[in-house]
Amino acid sequence: MTDVVDLTYYSKRNTSAPSDTLVDAVVSLILEDGFSALSNQKISKRASVAIGTVQKHFPNNAVLLDALLNVCREKFLKSLEDDTVSEGSSKDRVSMLVSLVWRHYQSDYYLAFIDVLLATRSQRTAAKLFEQNSRNAQVYHQRVRQIFPECQLDDRALTEALNDAHFLMNGLTVALIADPEIRNTGGYLRRATQALHEALLANSD
């Protein structure tokens, strides 16, 4: 794979998203041998596609990183569409939301994304990836407000409350990669659930 370049390349030059088969091939290879061992030849063989197809969709690391994150976000937002997320007490709904967020961070797609992100962390243009999150954040926040109609937080406070939960679970994910023997992950998630519940319902009657 070539060096990271400006992420605008993907949106300007690559008009079609990679197929699920291609993305799944990348994910499985990264989880098996790590990003450092990834190659166009291996992706081509695993996905049963021509090398040219791989090069078209993943011309550089930034595009690959972007594609993985897009799949992660799409799957996460899709999981929030389930009507059961909006059922039950406020505590039930917060618990369900935290469970979905944790499942998102533990998915093969996100773990592969983390591997690529860490491997390319010295290439600063990769940070531009997160400039593309605003639209997805808006969709996410709108859905959270639907799930918690009693939430009276303004947009800034809602963002902070959700970020606190996400930062904890994202950090815990990275910690588990470094040390899979970390104990009491359930305790961390329970505290995240409690803190998020208190934050979301802070100003409600």
At residue 62 the predicted structure's pLDDT band, cuts being 50, 70 and 90, is confident
Residue 205 lies inside a defined structural domain of this protein: no
At residue 5 the predicted structure's pLDDT band, cuts being 50, 70 and 90, is very low
Q: What percent of the chain has pLDDT over 70?
A: 83
pTM: 0.82
Residue 3 lies inside a defined structural domain of this protein: no
Residue 135 structure tokens? 């639209």
Residue 81 structure tokens? 């569409």
Q: What is the CATH number of the domain that holds 12?
A: 1.10.357.10
| Number of domains making up the chain | 1
Residue 131 lies inside a defined structural domain of this protein: yes
At residue 124 the predicted structure's pLDDT band, cuts being 50, 70 and 90, is very low
Residue 34 structure tokens? 């790590």
Q: Is 126 in contact with 120 (CB distance < 8 Å)?
A: yes
Is it the case that residue 130 has pLDDT exceeding 80?
A: no
Is it the case that residue 24 has pLDDT exceeding 50?
A: yes
Spatial distance between the Cα atoms of 149 and 67, rounded to a whole number of angstroms: 33
Q: Which domain holds residue 126?
A: 8-200
Residues 6+ apart with CB under 8 A from 140: 77, 80, 162
Q: How far from chain centre, in Å, is Cα 103?
A: 10
Residue 133 lies inside a defined structural domain of this protein: yes
Residue 36 lies inside a defined structural domain of this protein: yes
Q: What is the pLDDT of residue 137?
A: 85
pLDDT per residue as tens digits for the range 109-121: 999 999 988 887 7
Q: What is the pLDDT of residue 164?
A: 95
Greater confidence (12 vs 121) lies with: 121
Residue 27 lies inside a defined structural domain of this protein: yes
Residue 2 lies inside a defined structural domain of this protein: no
